[in-house]
């Protein structure tokens, strides 16, 4: 027999090897193997078994890794699809489906020495008191790790060894499995009685789980914050388990908190359906990740919960995939392969005839569009399950504030007053700043005017040194105005006003010197414990005001937070990314969902220089459908996603001229080779939003089409054959979510 192998090297092709007699029967599709390659030994994955090979003189495989194949045929198929669709090649795709911790040659189990008391016949030898103690301890435990025995008895290793010599104890190495949640005590929970909306949603999911036919198995669960989506997930998983099927739950990295994991573990930690819930998480140690992965692979854990890469969890007989907060951009991997876990989940579910549920309070326009077109089945849960009211959202017009203050104010009088009230009532405040605004747009503080590209309708970026405004999508340029161009305004002080969480924090401190203020953003969170500690301090009331970036917008429940302030809502709107409105709408809605989780009704204050922007107004009214209709008109006009799909080509290199020249050349080649694609739009080349890093110049070209699978194939061929200067590199990003 012959094995076809994809080696862990980016070679763009596969190699055939003989299966030697001593490995007979151990090699299947998906087995990891070690093979000779040139003068090296390289690891790889078997992708096919063949009777014969077109190549002569095959070399034999050297070794099989592990006792069980790593990649199931289903995952292999998924990796193939990913390699093609995301233009990343089969090696990169295959590499991604296995976590680093299980790809190693050496097996990753932790072995520990265990001590076991041996049965004793007849009278025992005379023992010291220490030795008696040790023996007692060992007899009291079926099997004790040696380390623990030593710690408990205070004995030395030698003393224990002597008991082994006397035939009283056996000491032997054994695999000891790591459990990252061993220290948590998790109390089991019971299913809640569902309300009508939840029951309706579950009934539809249940019908799909039961039917074997192919029709609609993809659902979009649109439920407002607190509508009880998680309960629907839990009961849907229970149904899948009942049928002997497994489940995967994807949550954004940031919401993969112990509380989230606990909710799933608690439901399935006891009862007739008791099963292990394995957690795949970047905060686990490599060893823990290895063990959790194998718990799934061996079928002992039937539920896998994790961030992005858990979509590849080796769950057999997969019945259900849940993608919570499906609109989250962190599902997209920002390095090759640039896959989107939500989209991979939908494809995987389709391949394995599983049901997929995408859930969100603010679905991505892509998913909502798919639901409207009938590709997904839409399930709506418009009311909170806990009978809490939706918070009241007020928008504060910062232009008015700017007209009355001499210096630009960070906090409007209304917000200051509201914070003061909370301090007096011993309630808590969260202040939120969307810091993505650092890409400097030019905004007039008096009228709210922002310069936009006439062709792309994204904000122009202000280049201070050249005094120019530039479009980072199509390359349009104009001179930066010295006075506000609005005829009614003509403000001579038009300028970009930068604002960061740090400045907000210090301004707060001088306004409210007695308040206990804490800032939470990626700068202040150096270690993973910081996040938990700060949240713990908020929960226990040690913090009065929490200041943070989008990091604090996610599913946190704080009953005593009654005020949420959004300091500068425009920051996320006027960016060179056509999704600016969508993101702002999502963030405002999510942040607003943080207020009023307790008994006191919540209040949300949104400060903005463009208070009538649709993203702000629809979020104020909690009106997703209204926002969708209005935003889709804009997307339709400019042929942006979800009407089309985007491929973003980025060229970078040290020499600006060469990069620029290559970009122009690439554009000509593209135009030539895509001549058959009638709907293709090519924008650019333009300087990328991050136009210059320390060492590199970057240019990009944006392609928009409805036929992405076709374009992907063309792009793969193009990147393989294009003659670019050596020091210019190109990356392809299919369905980018972040254009900044």
Under the rule (CB under 6 A), what is the footprint of ligand ADP?
192-195, 198, 223, 225-231, 385-386
231 binding partner (options Zn ion, ligand ADP, none; Cβ < 5 to 8 Å by kind)? ligand ADP
Give the orientation angle of helix 580-592 with respect to helix 624-638, to 10 degrees: 170
395 vs 474, beta carbon nearer Zn ion: 474
From 453, 569, 606, 739, residue interacting with Zn ion (rule: CB under 5 A)? 453
Q: Smallest distance, Å, CB 578 to Zn ion? A: 10
10 vs 192, beta carbon nearer ligand ADP: 192
Q: Give the span between the Cα atoms of 623 and 585, in whole angstroms.
A: 10
Q: Kindly give the residue spans of alpha helices, DSSP state H, lying in 380-500.
A: 398-404, 413-425
Q: Smallest distance, Å, CB 629 to ligand ADP? A: 23
195 binding partner (options Zn ion, ligand ADP, none; Cβ < 5 to 8 Å by kind)? ligand ADP
Q: Smallest distance, Å, CB 540 to ligand ADP? A: 19
155 vs 199, beta carbon nearer ligand ADP: 199
Q: Give the span between the Cα atoms of 732 and 740, in whole angstroms.
A: 15
471 binding partner (options Zn ion, ligand ADP, none; Cβ < 5 to 8 Å by kind)? Zn ion
The residue whose Cβ lies closest to ligand ADP is 228
Q: Smallest distance, Å, CB 44 to ligand ADP? A: 42
Phi then psi for 620, rounded to 5 degrees?
-60, -40
Q: Give the span between the Cα atoms of 247 and 321, in whole angstroms.
A: 6
Q: Give the span between the Cα atoms of 4 and 468, in whole angstroms.
A: 56
Q: Smallest distance, Å, CB 390 to ligand ADP? A: 12
Pick from 209, 567, 192, 633: nearest CA to 386: 192
456 binding partner (options ligand ADP, Zn ion, none; Cβ < 5 to 8 Å by kind)? Zn ion
Q: Give the span between the Cα atoms of 208 and 189, in whole angstroms.
A: 26
101 vs 474, beta carbon nearer Zn ion: 474
Q: Kindly give the residue spans of alpha helices, DSSP state H, lying in 550-638.
A: 580-592, 614-620, 624-638
Q: Give the span between the Cα atoms of 636 and 630, in whole angstroms.
A: 10
Output the six-digit token pair for 677.
Answer: 């694609």
703 binding partner (options ligand ADP, Zn ion, none; Cβ < 5 to 8 Å by kind)? none
Per-residue HEC secondary structure of 304-325 comes to EEECHHHHHCCCCCEEEEEEEC
451 binding partner (options Zn ion, ligand ADP, none; Cβ < 5 to 8 Å by kind)? none
Q: What is the per-residue binding string for Zn ion in 455-484, x denoting contact by CB under 5 A?
A: xx--------------x-xx-x--------
Q: Smallest distance, Å, CB 134 to ligand ADP? A: 49
Q: Give the span between the Cα atoms of 615 and 575, in whole angstroms.
A: 14
357 vs 499, beta carbon nearer ligand ADP: 357
Q: How many residues bind Zn ion (CB under 5 A)?
A: 7
Q: Smallest distance, Å, CB 234 to ligand ADP? A: 8
194 vs 525, beta carbon nearer ligand ADP: 194
What is the SS3 assignment for 456? coil
Q: Give the span between the Cα atoms of 642 and 646, in whole angstroms.
A: 9
Q: Give the span between the Cα atoms of 275 and 575, in whole angstroms.
A: 46
396 vs 474, beta carbon nearer Zn ion: 474
455 binding partner (options ligand ADP, Zn ion, none; Cβ < 5 to 8 Å by kind)? Zn ion
Q: Smallest distance, Å, CB 170 to ligand ADP? A: 49
Q: Give the span between the Cα atoms of 412 and 582, in whole angstroms.
A: 25
Q: At 372, which helix (H) or strand (E)?
A: helix 365-372
Binding residues for Zn ion (CB under 5 A): 453, 455-456, 471, 473-474, 476
């Amino acid at each position: 027999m012959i094995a076809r192998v994809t080696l862990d090297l980016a070679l763009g092709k596969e190699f055939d090897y003989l299966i030697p007699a001593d490995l007979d029967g151990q090699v299947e599709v998906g087995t990891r193997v070690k093979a000779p390659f040139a003068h090296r030994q390289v690891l790889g994955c078997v992708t096919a078994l063949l009777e014969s090979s077109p190549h002569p003189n095959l070399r034999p495989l050297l070794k099989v890794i592990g006792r069980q194949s790593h990649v199931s045929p289903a995952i292999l198929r998924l990796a193939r699809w990913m390699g093609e669709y995301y233009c990343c090649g089969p090696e990169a795709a295959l590499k991604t489906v296995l976590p680093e911790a299980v790809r190693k040659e050496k097996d990753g189990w932790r072995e520990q020495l265990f001590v076991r008391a041996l049965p004793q016949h007849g009278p025992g030898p005379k023992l010291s008191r220490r030795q008696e103690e040790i023996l007692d301890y060992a007899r009291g435990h079926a099997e004790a790790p040696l380390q623990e025995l030593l710690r408990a008895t205070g004995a030395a290793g030698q003393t224990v060894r002597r008991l082994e010599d006397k035939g009283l104890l056996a000491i032997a190495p054994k695999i000891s499995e790591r459990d990252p949640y061993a220290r948590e005590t998790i109390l089991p929970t019971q299913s809640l009685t569902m309300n009508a909306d939840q029951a309706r949603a579950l009934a539809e999911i249940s019908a799909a789980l039961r039917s074997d036919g192919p029709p609609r198995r993809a659902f979009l669960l649109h439920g407002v914050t607190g509508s009880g989506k998680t309960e629907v997930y839990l009961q849907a998983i229970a149904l899948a388990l009942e049928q002997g099927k497994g489940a995967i739950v994807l949550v954004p990295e940031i919401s993969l908190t112990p509380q989230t994991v606990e909710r799933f573990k608690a439901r399935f930690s006891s009862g007739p359906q008791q099963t292990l819930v394995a957690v795949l998480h970047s905060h686990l140690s490599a060893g823990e990740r290895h063990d959790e992965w194998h718990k799934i692979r061996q079928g002992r854990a039937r539920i896998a919960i994790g961030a992005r890469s858990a979509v590849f969890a080796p769950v057999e007989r997969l019945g259900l995939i849940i993608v919570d907060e499906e609109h989250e951009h962190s599902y997209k991997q920002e390095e090759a392969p640039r896959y989107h876990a939500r989209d991979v989940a939908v494809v995987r579910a389709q391949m394995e005839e599983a049901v997929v549920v995408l859930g969100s309070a603010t679905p991505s326009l892509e998913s909502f569009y798919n639901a409207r077109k009938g590709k997904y089945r839409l399930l709506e849960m418009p009311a909170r399950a806990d009978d809490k009211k939706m918070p009241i959202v007020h928008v504060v017009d910062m232009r008015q504030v700017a007209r009355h203050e001499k210096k630009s104010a960070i906090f409007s009088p209304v917000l200051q007053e509201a914070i003061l009230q909370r301090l007096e009532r011993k309630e808590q405040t969260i202040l939120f700043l969307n810091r993505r605004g650092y890409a400097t747009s030019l905004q007039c503080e008096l009228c709210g005017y922002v310069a936009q590209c006439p062709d792309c309708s994204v904000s122009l970026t202000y280049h201070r040194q050249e005094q120019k405004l530039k479009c980072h999508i199509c390359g349009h340029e104009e001179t930066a105005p010295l006075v506000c161009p609005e005829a009614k305004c003509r403000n001579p002080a038009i300028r970009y006003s930068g604002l960061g969480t740090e400045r907000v924090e210090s301004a707060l401190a001088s306004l409210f010197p007695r308040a206990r203020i804490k800032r939470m953003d990626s700068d202040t969170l150096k270690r993973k414990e910081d996040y938990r500690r700060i949240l713990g301090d908020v929960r226990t009331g040690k913090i009065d005001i929490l200041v943070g970036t989008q990091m604090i917008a996610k599913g946190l429940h704080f009953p005593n937070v009654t005020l949420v302030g959004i300091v500068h809502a425009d920051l996320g709107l006027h960016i060179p990314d056509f999704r600016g409105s969508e993101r702002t709408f999502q963030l405002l809605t999510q942040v607003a969902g943080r207020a009023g989780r307790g008994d006191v009704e919540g209040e949300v204050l949104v400060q903005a220089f463009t208070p009538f922007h649709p993203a702000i107004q629809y979020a104020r009214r909690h009106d997703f459908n209204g926002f969708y209709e209005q935003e889709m008109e804009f997307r339709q006009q400019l042929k942006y996603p979800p009407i089309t799909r985007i491929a973003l080509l980025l060229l970078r290199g040290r020499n600006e001229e060469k990069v620029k020249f290559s970009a122009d050349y690439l554009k000509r080649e593209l135009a030539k080779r895509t001549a058959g694609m009638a709907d293709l739009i090519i924008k650019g080349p333009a300087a990328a939003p991050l136009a210059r890093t320390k060492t590199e110049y970057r240019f990009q070209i944006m392609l928009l089409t409805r036929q992405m699978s076709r374009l992907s194939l063309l792009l793969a061929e193009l990147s393989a054959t294009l003659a670019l200067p050596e020091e210019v590199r190109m990356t392809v990003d299919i369905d980018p979510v972040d254009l900044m």
